[in-house]
Structure 1
Amino acid sequence: MSSEDGSVDGGAGAPPEQLALVRESVRKAKEPRAKPRTWRGAALAEELPVARVLVDKGVLHLDRYFDYAVPRELDADAQPGVRVRVRFGAGRHRVRDGRREGGGLIDGFLVERLAESDYSGPLAALAQVVSPEPVLGGELLGLARAVADRYAGSLADVLQLAVPPRSARAEQRPSPAPLPPPGAPDAGSWGRYEHGSAFLEALASGGAPRAVWNALPGPQWSEELARAVAATLASGRGALVVLPDGRAVARVDAALTALLGEGRHAVLTADAGPEKRYREWLAVRRGAVRAVVGTRAAMFAPVQDLGLVAIWDDGDDSHSEQHAPQPHAREVLLLRAAQDKCAFLLGSWSCTVEAAQLVESGWARPLVAGREQVRAAAPLVRTVGDQDLARDEAARAARLPTLAWQVVREGLKHGPVLVQVPRRGYVPRMACANCRAPARCRHCAGPLEAQESGAALRCGWCGRDEGAWHCPECGAFRLRAQVVGARRTAEELGRAFPAVPVRTSGREQVLDTVTSAPALVVSTPGAEPVAEGGYAAALLLDGWAMLGRPDLRAGEDALRRWIAAAALVRPQGAGGTVVAVAEPTLRPVQALVRWDPVGHAVRELSERAELGFPPVSRMAAVSGTAEALAEFLGAVELPSEAEVLGPVPVPFTAAGRPRRVGAPPPGEHWERVLIRVPPGTGAALASALKAAQAARMARGGGGGSGETAVRVRVDPPDIG
């Protein structure tokens, strides 16, 4: 501590090095701060001549602000929030006016203007104001910092996700004048839910209710989301809705346009193209538009006076960002709800464990319908075991149990029938018909796939054809299908129902809608088109393929995908029937039969609490080579409550196969550990991991080059 006469008392027993550091810090604090000096000696701005800049480096050990001098000629444009270019780093130098100028030009954001700098040396001057448009406001900066801290990432990486690339032409176009608030909408179909009308009234009156909404099956969910947005706009506030894909965005967009007309909301999706997306984003930032509908990048949309944040189907993988620091849209919107003190709505036909936890903790209230309403809106769900094979030739050709075949035949009399298949392709997995050993490529050990009926086998990793396969285990030459894909299923159904058109929807071509005419629609999960008037029936095939995944979320994810398909089927009163080909006694199958996703999520949450799994605990995954991983774990200062699980091998990426996010480089053998901490210490874990990774990068060991790279991911979606 410092005495009144300025002397320093380091405390009894303080080491000499510590005393010297304390004395030096006190001496520097007493020195008068000089006005900033630049390498170029340029004339500076009269007021606030220091610009605090966030450089766009995206590395943890440079995750801080840097001070630059503001030249007089840039004074007017160099305002907080604008994009700038600055010289940074100790790279190439050049001599100008007898002084050295160092570093290359990089992009950055001007965060604030100051009268003086904490740095006592000469300041480099701002090189350029890229645009006078202030794109980084204080609220967005605070949100980005909170997201970076939560996910142990850098602020620059988060801002790359939050602020779209600049388009000069979009900036030059004026945004439309803001429209006055609309009138409050009526409750509409929200009246089907307990407290649904009260939720809308709270939004319209300026309240901030927080709810987890278990939507009834059927197409009304998009209109109900639109009414929630309209009620928020009626209070004079803004609203933000994040959806999993462009098809869902289009439905809510159409519902909002029908309810409020044109010009009251912006649509932010990657499909719009960079210029249009940036123009829409600017209209939101300038306050011309108060409502936003978009995919996960819209979670950072700078809506002014935010009154509601909403997310639909938070269990969809699309809500998890694949770029560093890999935030989840649900968690970002939770941070926004806390930061802006606004309303929060999490909606889905199903229910994730995280949603159940929000209700269990009391942070959000449940928004559900009574059992009578559920029974009236849901289709009839029947189950049949995988081994219950059909007794007639047509059913055997289509590999359908008798019950499923009868439901399809009856459903086709009244409309289209949906068939959900877990895998795309023709036959994506083959095995020896004799010993059941998986059929592997001789060159890279990848899985052999059948492309078409009678065609040669092809490797799914390297793409080589295999015309003379034999089993290396038993020497047999015959093959059998382990998994049947969507195209093979469509072919088999076409033979079983020759007079019925068969349409497929999947990765190669995703259908948005189908007509009400009788047809068989074969789809992979998530690609199911909406049928006019609803499907007459649906088949959910190969349930074992979804439930058998070695993952903590296998049951939850299978139930979510089944319910998403079954919700497109007509209600039971209109003849809608769903047949799930899966073991009837399994918990997710029973939850589907009862149409009780909330009960399934609550039970899952209880079991995870007993076992200490997320979301009850916070978890991080750290991966790298064995040596790099051991070095990192030896350096990181984990919270005392932290538990390290592992290490375990990480599957490597074979040559010719697309790399998964977080997978090691081809041919390298990595290991992974999971670090688990109890509730309340997640922030400490993220801070410790970030500090250790920053120190590693500062020493030159955190790059992407193989042997020394270490990857950290907080809240990994897959811990299987």
Structure 2
Amino acid sequence: MTEDGLFELPAVPAPRGARSAVKPPASKTPAEHLPVARICVDLALPHLDRPFDYLVPASMDAKVVVGGRVRVRFAGQKVDGYVLDRVAASEHGGSLSFLERAVSAEPVVSPEIARLARAVADRYAGNLADVLRLAVPPRHARAEAAVPPRQARWEAVVPTGDVPAETEVPTRAGGVSGSGGKPGEGSEVSGDGDGGGPPGRPAFPATVGWAAYPAGAAFLRALADGRAPRAVWTATPGEDWAARVAEAVGATLSGGRGAVVVVPDGRDLHRLDRALLSLLGEGRHVALSAATGPEERYTRFVTALRGHVGAVIGTRAAMFAPVDDLGLVAIFDDGDDVHADPHAPYPHAREVLLTRAELAGAAALVAGHSRTAEGQLLLATGWAKELTADRESLRTRAPRVVTTGDDVQQSRDPGAVSSRLPSVALQAARVSLAAGRPVLVQVPRRGYIPAVACETCRAPARCPHCSGPLALESGVLGGNAGVAGASPEHSGPSCRWCGRGATGFTCPVCGGRRLRASVVGARRTADEMGRAFAGVPVRTSGRGELLDTVPDGPALVVATPGAEPVADAGYGAVLLLDTWALLTRADLRAGEEALRRWLSAAALARADGTVVIVADASVPVVQALVRFDPAWYAARELDERAELGFPPAVRVGSLTGSPAAIAELLAGARMPAGVDELGPVPVFGGDEGVERLLLRVPRSTGPALARALHEAAGVRSAHRAKEPVRVQIDPLELL
């Protein structure tokens, strides 16, 4: 399979009969007990997405275990595979080949993960081998030898950190959905009970941190009781979300069940790791991340696999982490696009975890400061219940939000609409700095001036050599008289594609020789803020210079979305600039994504602080920020998408390839009734001749659509089709 996920045919795939006809060497004899192993061969061809039977040599009997890695000969090549099962006899009537080698006796694919991988592959019209490639990290023999042998069971835990004494927390009847069965059919969780803590110490789980959420105490007690509540949690501004998630994990472990938590990035993982260490102590969990290196990552994977810990936290790949007796799956900030895997079959961590909860009968927690339309759909269908703060608690925790486009601001400052830094934003920053508090400035774009245009006709400036976009990137000395509004210390524009300079630029449309900034980046904003507040330290956080925390004290912090550092005592002011760059994106999720990024930044402000958003207050998504009400906006968004036939109200299949290849795949597909074809249309910014076709069906028909596309892709791969077609189900980007 190629890097972009397109199907690529290897040499000579052989049918089962041709491969099985090879007679085993006389020196090999089958194992006496369960001599046939059913293998998932690590090949990415859709028509080979089924287990193949091989004989287990008697010499390898002890090492060939269910879930273990093996090497087999397939179509004349030695390939890797996983043992899915061992049986007494094969359903194939011909001769079977022997396994070539037993790579490891470590059962890296447990029965639960095998079922989950199969369900994920079916949901996304993919191959089991592709999903297992995402689920199981590469092997390191030294790591397997370093981890102690499997123990019988990790022990249920009680907190080792400082846990506040239990207090009475008001609960709401029916606040959290019940356990087990079909969506919406679980028993209700009440708020009664003492939490199960031993006499003489604080009850665990401690629900004090969840006091702002009427159903929070009931949710934690249901986890501690071993039930399976499902909830969509909207965290309040200033909430220590890592501590709350850690308490949910601790409650699950205290009930004797395991937990898996997925977060967007390494900084969030570090915060959750520290929260769990503080609450539960050492040795209760492991953190999986590619940043630790292949060997350390595999060591932690084996540690969880052998049952030494009850909880696994990590970034996207941790959604498949092996945990004994799973009781909770959780995901934080599920709207972040990093949760969508870029490798075939392109699963989303949220959908994988929800599928896993359904299969394992586990609890589920979808958490974040914002709420996606997919999270709202879980509530609308009754599959989950919401965990939100009451308005009184929200008012005490939320900072004041000021917009620059309402009538009051326009009467005070007529330039508030057109100004990039209106007076209300400057005033809020001055007040915060005077009080000794840092100020956060969120800018959507990194760099200095990432895009320039002709000052006369406003046409985007392009490189005369490769037609790439021109930008101002560096701060070195150089002539720059041709760029209007640029700092005199900056060199001329250069191409973002080929890197060539374009100091002698001439507009091909009007012949103009002067340029203007069409987009201002974080570094240019830092320069502007530094000139406006002389003597105040200015720090930037973004790609290449990521800050985790900033100390309390007067400072200006300019950050791109997702790179905002946490202030020790909170920010006195948060300024949200260039909001048009987020709202005008040609994307179905533009409003939802803008609100997610704004709320993530606004949540870092102090309760007595101010959030200034340079936007018109009449825009619905801005109103959601002003009221700190992402639930209202998510419900509105879901209703509009249902009316227009957009995901998640419907299921969508995407086919990307040449027109002939797409037509060939459709010709061999047995499509379910009611498929709505949209396109095909040329792919914007893609290779010439590449088109995209969308297939829209009701949600109930989604599995049938995925099955039909997978079968059609298998027919094409069996016929060795020359042109690939990329198949995606519910792609994150539709526009």
Determine the C-alpha separation between the residues in 2 that align with 1:411 and 1:337: 45
1:269 aligns with 2:289: yes
Secondary structure of the residue that 1:315 maps to in structure 2? coil
- Displacement of 1:117 after TM fit? 1.5
Which residue identity lines up with residue 685 of structure 1 in the other structure?
Answer: L
Secondary structure of the residue that 1:681 maps to in structure 2? helix
Query: Does structure 2 retain, via aligned residues, the 8 Å contact 1:395–1:496?
Result: no
Aligned position for 1:529: 565
Q: Deviations over 1:370-422 (max 9, x none)?
A: 01111111110001139989999x99999411111111111112211000000
TM-align CA RMSD: 2.1
Query: Does structure 1 retain, via aligned residues, the 8 Å contact 2:154–2:310?
Result: no
1:288 aligns with 2:308: yes
Determine the C-alpha separation between the residues in 1 that align with 2:689 and 2:494: 26
Aligned position for 2:448: 426
Query: Does structure 2 retain, via aligned residues, the 8 Å contact 1:389–1:399?
Result: no
Determine the C-alpha separation between the residues in 1 that align with 2:234 and 2:23: 61
Determine the C-alpha separation between the residues in 1 that align with 2:633 and 2:148: 47
- Displacement of 1:634 after TM fit? 2.5
Which residue identity lines up with residue 211 of structure 1 in the other structure?
Answer: A
Secondary structure of the residue that 2:211 maps to in structure 1? helix
CA separation of 1:39 and 1:692: change in aligned 2, threshold 3 A: farther
Aligned position for 1:160: 133
Determine the C-alpha separation between the residues in 2 that align with 1:395 and 1:60: 57
- Displacement of 1:477 after TM fit? 0.8
Query: Does structure 2 retain, via aligned residues, the 8 Å contact 1:194–1:367?
Result: yes
Which residue identity lines up with residue 95 of structure 2 in the other structure?
Answer: P
Query: Does structure 2 retain, via aligned residues, the 8 Å contact 1:514–1:531?
Result: yes
Aligned position for 1:474: 510
Query: Counterparts in 2 of 1:427-442, with a 5 A limit?
Result: 427-442=449-464
Determine the C-alpha separation between the residues in 1 that align with 2:410 and 2:472: 23
Match of 2:707 among 683, 687, 691: 687
Determine the C-alpha separation between the residues in 1 that align with 2:526 and 2:257: 49
Determine the C-alpha separation between the residues in 2 that align with 1:482 and 1:386: 25
Determine the C-alpha separation between the residues in 1 that align with 2:525 and 2:122: 47
Which residue identity lines up with residue 222 of structure 1 in the other structure?
Answer: A
Match of 2:724 among 693, 700, 709: 709
Secondary structure of the residue that 2:459 maps to in structure 1? coil
Query: Does structure 1 retain, via aligned residues, the 8 Å contact 2:21–2:96?
Result: no
Determine the C-alpha separation between the residues in 2 that align with 1:672 and 1:39: 50
- Displacement of 1:610 after TM fit? 0.9
| Stretches of structure 1 lacking an aligned partner (at least 5 in a row) | 1-33, 90-102, 653-663, 703-707
Determine the C-alpha separation between the residues in 1 that align with 2:416 and 2:403: 17
1:300 aligns with 2:320: yes
| Stretches of structure 2 lacking an aligned partner (at least 5 in a row) | 1-19, 159-203, 475-486
Determine the C-alpha separation between the residues in 2 that align with 1:398 and 1:485: 16
Percent of counterpart pairs with the same letter? Answer: 56
CA separation of 1:606 and 1:305: change in aligned 2, threshold 3 A: same
CA separation of 1:36 and 1:464: change in aligned 2, threshold 3 A: closer
1:182 aligns with 2:182: no
Query: Does structure 1 retain, via aligned residues, the 8 Å contact 2:232–2:385?
Result: yes
Aligned position for 1:247: 267
CA separation of 1:397 and 1:624: change in aligned 2, threshold 3 A: closer
1:719 aligns with 2:694: no
Match of 2:36 among 33, 50, 59: 50
Query: Does structure 2 retain, via aligned residues, the 8 Å contact 1:389–1:400?
Result: no
Determine the C-alpha separation between the residues in 2 that align with 1:546 and 1:395: 19
Determine the C-alpha separation between the residues in 2 that align with 1:221 and 1:262: 20
Aligned position for 1:94: none
1:444 aligns with 2:417: no
Secondary structure of the residue that 2:434 maps to in structure 1? coil
Q: Deviations over 1:278-331 (max 9, x none)?
A: 111111111111111111100001111000111100000111111111100000
1:345 aligns with 2:365: yes
1:130 aligns with 2:103: yes
Which residue identity lines up with residue 111 of structure 1 in the other structure?
Answer: L
Q: Deviations over 1:119-163 (max 9, x none)?
A: 222221111101111111111100000000000111001001101
- Displacement of 1:35 after TM fit? 13
Aligned position for 2:234: 214
CA separation of 1:463 and 1:329: change in aligned 2, threshold 3 A: same
1:402 aligns with 2:388: no
Query: Does structure 2 retain, via aligned residues, the 8 Å contact 1:352–1:601?
Result: yes
Determine the C-alpha separation between the residues in 2 that align with 1:599 and 1:396: 26
Rg (Cα) greater in structure: 1
Which residue identity lines up with residue 38 of structure 1 in the other structure?
Answer: P
Determine the C-alpha separation between the residues in 2 that align with 1:342 and 1:396: 50
Which residue identity lines up with residue 66 of structure 1 in the other structure?
Answer: F
Secondary structure of the residue that 2:291 maps to in structure 1? helix
- Displacement of 1:631 after TM fit? 2.1
Stretch of structure 1 that moved more, 444-453 or 335-344: 444-453
- Displacement of 1:474 after TM fit? 0.9
Match of 1:411 among 432, 456, 466: 432
Match of 2:244 among 205, 224, 239: 224
Determine the C-alpha separation between the residues in 2 that align with 1:690 and 1:149: 8
Query: Does structure 2 retain, via aligned residues, the 8 Å contact 1:154–1:325?
Result: yes
CA separation of 1:396 and 1:501: change in aligned 2, threshold 3 A: farther
CA separation of 1:351 and 1:505: change in aligned 2, threshold 3 A: same
- Displacement of 1:598 after TM fit? 0.3
Which residue identity lines up with residue 53 of structure 1 in the other structure?
Answer: I
TM-score (norm 1): 0.88
1:200 aligns with 2:220: yes
Aligned position for 1:84: 70
Tell me the number of residue pairs that the alignment of Structure 1 and Structure 2 aligns.
652
Determine the C-alpha separation between the residues in 2 that align with 1:516 and 1:234: 36
Query: Counterparts in 2 of 1:93-172, with a 5 A limit?
Result: 103-172=76-145
Determine the C-alpha separation between the residues in 1 that align with 2:547 and 2:416: 27
Q: Deviations over 1:86-109 (max 9, x none)?
A: 1111xxxxxxxxxxxxx1211111
Query: Does structure 2 retain, via aligned residues, the 8 Å contact 1:547–1:558?
Result: yes
Determine the C-alpha separation between the residues in 2 that align with 1:398 and 1:501: 23
CA separation of 1:301 and 1:641: change in aligned 2, threshold 3 A: same
Query: Does structure 2 retain, via aligned residues, the 8 Å contact 1:389–1:402?
Result: no
Aligned position for 1:627: 660
Determine the C-alpha separation between the residues in 2 that align with 1:389 and 1:451: 34
Determine the C-alpha separation between the residues in 2 that align with 1:513 and 1:679: 43
Q: Deviations over 1:644-686 (max 9, x none)?
A: 001111024xxxxxxxxxxx5xx53311111100120100000
TM-score (norm 2): 0.86
- Displacement of 1:584 after TM fit? 1.7
